[in-house]
Chain A
Amino acid sequence: MSPGIWLARHAQNLLGALGAVSRNPLGTFLTVSVIGIALALPAALNVLVQTGKSAAGNWTDVRDFSIYLQPATPLARAEALARELRKRDGIDSVQLITADAAVAELGKDPVFANALAALESNPLPHTLVVRPAADMGSEQLGKLSTELQKTPDVDLVKLDLQWVQRLNAGLDFLARLGWIAAVLLGGAVLIIVGNTIRLDIQTRTEEIEVAKLLGATDTFVRRPFLYLGLWYGLFGGLVAVLILAVSLWLLGGPVENLASLYGSSLALEGLGLTTLGAVLGGGLLAGWCGAWLAVTRHLSGLRPKY
């Protein structure tokens, strides 16, 4: 077969399959919708995880940690410790909150004011609030905290890492969930397309048998159905993109609102090219594979007669 004829044949099959898809609008709509929803779910989880990650990156202040000094430590010693810390690598800034300032701050609250008035002396220690550099990992942070804990006059190092660790663990969990969903729902798309193609095959068994009697190869018989599967996958992918775009648009306002309440400029991660490519590519791949499985199964059922 010459390349020209080969190309023309593929083009005919491509358009022929599109025709077959458009002749049954309701059935196509249902199939394509189910594929779209199945593809949109893992993609949505992915968007959520990406957004969460950028949020974790935004909230650097949750990495701040406090060093409480022994109650009797003199102010000069606290100031010296703060200076010493500022010189270290991996520390952005150190803020000293003196015991007096802390009491004054606490005293603004009437509830605490009464309690404080009842006490003879200031129960609060001097506190150093340390902001680590952005590139410091949680492991290094942990090491720094144990080291500081051993420094003389330090009573307690209160590292607020847990919050970030929990968020990251949650995001890892979601990301893993996204992968599982992608695999399961990818399998579902495969089955949906396979079943739809199987029904298509059933309405064309006569044609397939005659073609095989006239000398058609399995490839020849398979080809139009593969294109059919590709169309289902493509349209399913487009439906998924549509679902995602509308959902993100609907969620955009509330998320911004939520973020501003937390004093953050967080915005939902948009549909990146990677997500777009994964959704459309996943749809096409699953469509093709589903069709291939359905036709190949049918053809092997026809053997050896046809």
Chain B
Amino acid sequence: MIRFENVSKRYDGGHEALSGVSIEVAAGELAFLTGRSGAGKSTVLKLVALIERPTRGQVIVGGRQLNKLAYREVPAYRQQIGMVFQDNRLLNDRSAYENVALPLIISGTGQREIGRRVRAALDQVGLLDREKYPPTALSAGEQQRLAIARAVVSRPAVLIADEPTGNLDPELSLEIMTLFRRLNEVGVTMLIASHDLPLVERFGSRRIVLSGGQVSSGETIDRPAGAAR
């Protein structure tokens, strides 16, 4: 579902964030991207989200070669990808409901369908009773759950998350990861960047370890049943 073929990324200014990275995440798989900060985790996710373009190599998501997508094709592509950002990027001048509805408004979904799906997504993350509150009125854990609801509301086949538990305590982190696990069980392919090794190890999913812009190990532990390459 997500494939990196010998991908290198050099930023303006000469810093090479990735050099010759090859990764494959199968459809329906939940994979963690780990490594120290600066190892290139965020860059991998930015390449999937088309926030950055690779200097060399191919990124293929859902069978589409991303470097063949023109600027005007990017929006339609992004609508098919769920994204959870490190700083959650929720809009504080809007209610929880409106934040989750945004991807559906963008994709041109009908009003009634929006209501149904936003409530289903809020219910999934346990925030149904908070729909009228702005993100600022929610706790850090709730905000992260809201960001996840927004990422899954349009039912993407692929979800990427950058340090989704970055500023949460261990208990909340576990709760968020459990939520990802549940979403993965309904078939969403996931690539989650996290430097929280103990947490990642508890989940037993495959870990792709980045170090200095290269894959240092990509062992597979306990790949979910039925996940196909």
Contacts and interface: CB of A to CB of B under 8 A. Distances in A.
Interface of A: 1-2, 4-6, 8-9, 206-207, 209-217, 220, 303-306
Contacts, number: 58
Contact of A214 (B79, B108, B111): B79
Given A207-B91, A210-B89, A305-B52, A6 B108 contact: yes
Contacts of A209: 89
Contacts of B63: none
B102 A214 contact: yes
B86 to A, nearest CB: 12
Interface in B45-96: 49, 51-53, 71-72, 74-81, 83, 85, 89, 91, 93
B218 to A, nearest CB: 27
Nearest to B110: A5
A220 B52 contact: no
B89 A213 contact: yes
Given A214-B102, A304-B53, A305-B51, A5 B109 contact: yes
Contacts of A1: 108
B213 interface: no
B79 A215 contact: yes
B103 A5 contact: no
Interface of B: 49, 51-53, 71-72, 74-81, 83, 85, 89, 91, 93, 102-103, 105-111, 150
A214 B109 contact: no
Nearest to B94: A207
Given A207-B91, A305-B52, A213 B110 contact: no
B92 to A, nearest CB: 8
Contact of B75 (A206, A215, A303): A215
A259 B5 CA distance: 87
A214 B103 contact: yes
Given A206-B91, A304-B71, A305-B52, A215 B76 contact: yes
A221 to B, nearest CB: 10
Contact of A4 (B75, B78, B110): B110
A214 B109 CA distance: 14
B78 A214 contact: yes
Contacts of B150: 214
Contacts of B106: 211, 214-216, 220
9 contacts: A9-B108, A210-B89, A210-B91, A213-B83, A213-B85, A214-B150, A215-B76, A215-B78, A216-B75
The 9 closest A-B pairs by CB, nearest first: A215-B79, A1-B108, A215-B78, A217-B75, A216-B106, A215-B75, A214-B103, A210-B89, A305-B51
B102 A210 contact: yes
A152 to B, nearest CB: 84
B110 A2 contact: yes
A210 B110 CA distance: 21
A11 to B, nearest CB: 11
Contacts of A217: 72, 75
A215 B109 CA distance: 13
Given A305-B51, A305-B52, A215 B110 contact: no
A32 B80 CA distance: 41
B193 to A, nearest CB: 16
Given A213-B89, A305-B51, 16 more contacts: A4-B110, A5-B108, A5-B110, A6-B108, A206-B91, A211-B106, A212-B75, A215-B76, A215-B80, A216-B75, A217-B72, A217-B75, A220-B75, A304-B53, A304-B71, A305-B52
B75 A213 contact: no
Contacts of A4: 110
Contacts of B77: 215
Contacts of A206: 89, 91
B201 to A, nearest CB: 30
A232 to B, nearest CB: 22
Nearest to B109: A5
Contacts of A216: 75, 106
A197 to B, nearest CB: 18
Contacts of A306: 51
Nearest to A217: B75
